Amino acid sequence: MKGRLSTMIGLAAALYGAAWFAAGQLANERGRWPPSQSGPSSKFIKERGPESRAGVPEWSVTGPFRTDVFTFVRLRYRSSRWEGGMVDYPGADLNLSYRLQQLTSLRVDPEGLVLDIDDPQLLHYPFVFMIDPRSIVLSKEEAMVLRRYLLNGGFLMVDDFWGDRMWNHLMRELKKVLPDREWVSLPLSHPIFNIPYPVKEKPQVPSEDSAHATRDIVGPYRTWEYEITWERPQPADYRAFLDDNGRIMVLICWNTDLSDGWEEEGISEWFFTHFSEKYSYPMGINIIVYALTH
């Protein structure tokens, strides 16, 4: 990981200027494809990509970056209920990769990667993504692999889970990985909310269908996932396990679904404007910039 991390840090250093230039201009970019619920907009991609890529356009990486690009890596895990870790796949992964390639100076792998926790390739990638871990089950061996990965500079982002019951289950599993560490709630002053995009609140992004179902509701938790009826609506929080130097090893995006803002950016202009553009992409880019520079 050391060699790849040093290269990624060099790439990310060049990212800052481009990302700052892009800030505030995302609204003028085109999104995924003309939305199904409104007329064509300059925010959406005019020509949809192939079905095999969930409609996301293709691009190529040439020159010296062909073998040294940022790769969005999704972790697949064992689950007590279903195949773990494949929610919102592949649209979320490909759309975020496309936006990184489009809006920043990073060179990005157009395909992304799915790895099992115990895959030897894991140690080659500085950023990995885990989704909907409400029923994750980690073996002793998997916990050891993740602990080695994190303590050696890796970064794990956990997204799309809601409420105390899911939180408590995940904490039991992560204690297998980091038994001697406690989580902290990150303040809005933390770099992850400010570089390169200043975020003025901790984003709570519901799934697209939930967002439309609660669109006209007035109240502080209109953005709660409406189908999670067994939990009390709560605001989003971004919690982390830190290493001895204060670096985030595990970022837990709780009570939010940033990745649905990536996957479903093209479902309607309203959803794109209110969630994808406003919250999911700025926060996603901030997280990756942090992972590549710390």
CA 232-237-239 angle, to 5 degrees, is 125
CA distance 79 to 284: 25
Nearest to residue 269, comparing CAs of 29, 28, 41, 22?
A: 41
Longest dimension (CA), the chain: 54
Q: Which amino acid is at 282?
A: P
What pLDDT, on a 0 to 100 scale, did the predictor assign at position 170?
97
DSSP code of residue 56: P
What pLDDT, on a 0 to 100 scale, did the predictor assign at position 46?
52
Nearest to residue 107, comparing CAs of 14, 209, 200?
A: 14
Contact 188, 201 (CB under 8 A): yes
- Domains delineated in the chain: 2-293 (3.40.50.12140)
Q: Which range is least confidently modeled, 56-70, 75-89, 105-119, 256-270?
A: 56-70
CA distance 288 to 120: 22
Instruction: List pLDDT tens digits, range 169-189.
Output: 999 999 999 999 999 999 999
Cα torsion at 258, 259, 265, 270 (round to 10°)?
-30
Instruction: List pLDDT tens digits, range 185-203.
Output: 999 999 999 999 999 999 9
The mean pLDDT of 61-68, rounded to a whole number, is 73
Percentage of residues of the chain with pLDDT beyond 90: 66
Q: Is residue 288 pLDDT above 70, yes or no?
A: yes
What pLDDT, on a 0 to 100 scale, did the predictor assign at position 74?
98
CA distance 284 to 255: 15
Instruction: List pLDDT tens digits, range 239-278.
Output: 999 999 999 999 999 999 999 999 999 899 999 999 999 9
CA distance 37 to 261: 16
